[in-house]
Chain A
Amino acid sequence: MTFEVGSGLSIAVILTTVIVVAAMLIWVERRLLGFWQDRLGPNRVGYFGLLQVVADMIKIFTKEDWIPPFADKFSFVLAPAIIMSVILLSFSVVPFAPGVGVVDSNIGVLFVLAMASLGAYSVMLAGLSSDNKYALLGALRAAAQMVSYEVFMGISILGVVALSGSFNLREIVLAQTDGWYIIPQFIGFVIFLIAGVAESHRLPFDIPEAEQEICAGYHTEYSGMKFGMFFVGEYLGLVLISSLITVLFFGGWLGPSFLPPIIWFVLKASAFIAFFILMRAALPRPRYDQLMTYGWLFLLPVSLVNLLVTGVIILSTQ
């Protein structure tokens, strides 16, 4: 078997790498949060606590997998499966390096958006089937937040799409050979960053699972590996958003040739993962209505104006 786009070997390698990286992020995040909060973080299991992930996995696999008797079993079991599969499917269109990827799709950007919008079901079904008021509140918040921020996410990408003239993520990377899109599309980048955080409901926008207000939100009733799927799904979403920012705005695998392309991709994506963790360490959570007001009254007009200006500039320079 050869290692090329779409071969079985490449799919297997990408799948395992992505899941292992997402699991390792549990340790990376706790360690980095520790450093930024003047603590040490987990460092007891293995060198620097590297085996903490293994310990966590053993714990989460051997926990009792409990389905509450009042829950709607069908939706309850379906919900964690949706988030994992939807995010893993999104990875299929991400171009990691020349020759590394799963699919070379002409509708890559749209596919990612479609999968992101399907991800909302996971959260909503989890909250609805749990038959628990905290879960329901979390699901309501999650639904509104994800549907709203999907809009800004889509519009902020459109500037990049207009500049590159393609929905294919690989072609978008190749179109950035002359210069990364972070410079012409800085506003689009900022909006995509904010919308990405809200979409993967990570701090500071973890309103659907705000521990202080509504327990754990939509996954209050989950335990064992079902909770683990939500947990790993969140980190998978983090990796996905970081990869997408790298691809859309920072030239993907492009970089000086003293390092191989895949290393450039990993370096850029890791920097964004670290930035997301820094946001978690530093920024407080906004109130729910503040988030909505901020989105619809600030991000939406700004992203529309950004798209309009981009269009005008493209048309005038042609």
Chain B
Amino acid sequence: MIMLFYIAAAVAVISTVAVILQTNIVHALIYLILSLLAVAVVFYVLGAPFAAVLEAIVYAGAIMVLFLFVIMMLNMGQQSLDQERSWMGPRVWIVPSILAAVLLAQLLTVMSQYNYELSPTKVDVMEVSALLFGPYVLAVELASILLLAGLVAAYHLAKK
């Protein structure tokens, strides 16, 4: 089980790096989807099947589809590929690499100080729902009001 976690985590990390390094935007998007699916597997292994499947449905299945939809409309050709390549020069990497290195160092120190025992507790759909409509009901209702506003706005825009 723990091996599955490490494999999925490695896939997620590698594909995320590939997202950054890819110059072809469609390929980058495919790697991003792969990364999200790998994260879903990580959730599943850690005992949160509901979160895993929602990750697959909402992020990989719906939001990324919209990304791809927009890319289809934009007609990215060889020109955008060359532009992307020209942006990927070595000088661009300096600042982000330093920042990422700092973050990584922090993460490593935190992880080395605390010795977590990985013991997944299974959180089922029922418990998630009970929490959502119990202690967190206010947040859920606020989010739903936000979504309703979005829905009304979309309806208004589509009416025109």
Residues of A within 8 A of B (CB): 72, 74-75, 78, 105-107, 110-111, 113-114, 116-118, 120-121, 124-125, 127-129, 136, 139-140, 143-144, 146-147, 150, 154, 167
Q: How far is the CA of A113 from the CA of B26 in the complex (A)?
A: 24
Docked-complex contact B26 and A120, CB < 8 angstroms: no
B50's partner among A107, A117, A118, A147 (CB-CB below 8 A) is A107
Docked-complex contact A128 and B71, CB < 8 angstroms: yes
Q: How far is the CA of A129 from the CA of B76 in the complex (A)?
A: 11
Chain B residues 40 to 76 lying within 8 A of chain A, measured CB to CB, are: 49-50, 52-54, 56-57, 60-62, 64-66, 68-69, 71-73
Closest to A113 in B: B57
Q: List 29 A-B contacts (CB under 8 A).
A: A72-B24, A72-B26, A74-B30, A75-B27, A75-B30, A78-B30, A105-B49, A111-B53, A113-B57, A113-B61, A114-B61, A117-B56, A117-B57, A117-B61, A117-B62, A117-B65, A118-B56, A121-B64, A121-B68, A124-B69, A124-B72, A125-B30, A128-B26, A128-B71, A136-B72, A140-B73, A143-B68, A143-B72, A147-B65
Docked-complex contact A129 and B26, CB < 8 angstroms: yes
Q: How far is the CA of A275 from the CA of B56 in the complex (A)?
A: 31
B33 adjacent to chain A (CB < 8 Å): yes
Q: How large is the interface on B (under 10, 10 to 19, 20 to 34, 35 or more residues)?
A: 20 to 34
Name, among B24, B53, B56, B62, the residue most crowded by chain A CB atoms within 10 Å (CB to CB). Answer: B53
B82 adjacent to chain A (CB < 8 Å): no
Q: How far is the CA of A117 from the CA of B54 in the complex (A)?
A: 11
B124 adjacent to chain A (CB < 8 Å): yes
Docked-complex contact B61 and A120, CB < 8 angstroms: yes
In the assembled complex, the CB of B71 is this many whole angstroms from the nearest CB of chain A, namely 7
B138 adjacent to chain A (CB < 8 Å): no
Closest 6 CB pairs of A and B: A117-B61, A114-B56, A110-B53, A114-B57, A107-B49, A107-B53
Q: List residues of chain A with CB within 8 A of the CB of B124.
A: 106
Closest to B52 in A: A107
Q: List residues of chain A with CB within 8 A of the CB of B52.
A: 107
Closest to B124 in A: A106
Q: List residues of chain A with CB within 8 A of the CB of B53.
A: 107, 110-111, 113-114
In the assembled complex, the CB of A245 is this many whole angstroms from the nearest CB of chain B, namely 20
Q: How far is the CA of A128 from the CA of B60 in the complex (A)?
A: 18
Docked-complex contact B125 and A140, CB < 8 angstroms: no
Q: List residues of chain B with CB within 8 A of the CB of A146.
A: 65
Give a binary string over B20-42; 1 marks a CB under 8 Å from any A CB, 0 the rest: 00001011001001000000000
A128's partner among B54, B57, B68 (CB-CB below 8 A) is B68
In the assembled complex, the CB of A289 is this many whole angstroms from the nearest CB of chain B, namely 11
Docked-complex contact B125 and A167, CB < 8 angstroms: yes
Closest to B158 in A: A296
Docked-complex contact B50 and A110, CB < 8 angstroms: yes
Q: List residues of chain B with CB within 8 A of the CB of A114.
A: 53, 56-57, 60-61
Docked-complex contact B72 and A139, CB < 8 angstroms: yes
Q: List residues of chain A with CB within 8 A of the CB of B26.
A: 72, 75, 125, 128-129
In the assembled complex, the CB of A250 is this many whole angstroms from the nearest CB of chain B, namely 24
Q: List residues of chain A with CB within 8 A of the CB of B27.
A: 74-75
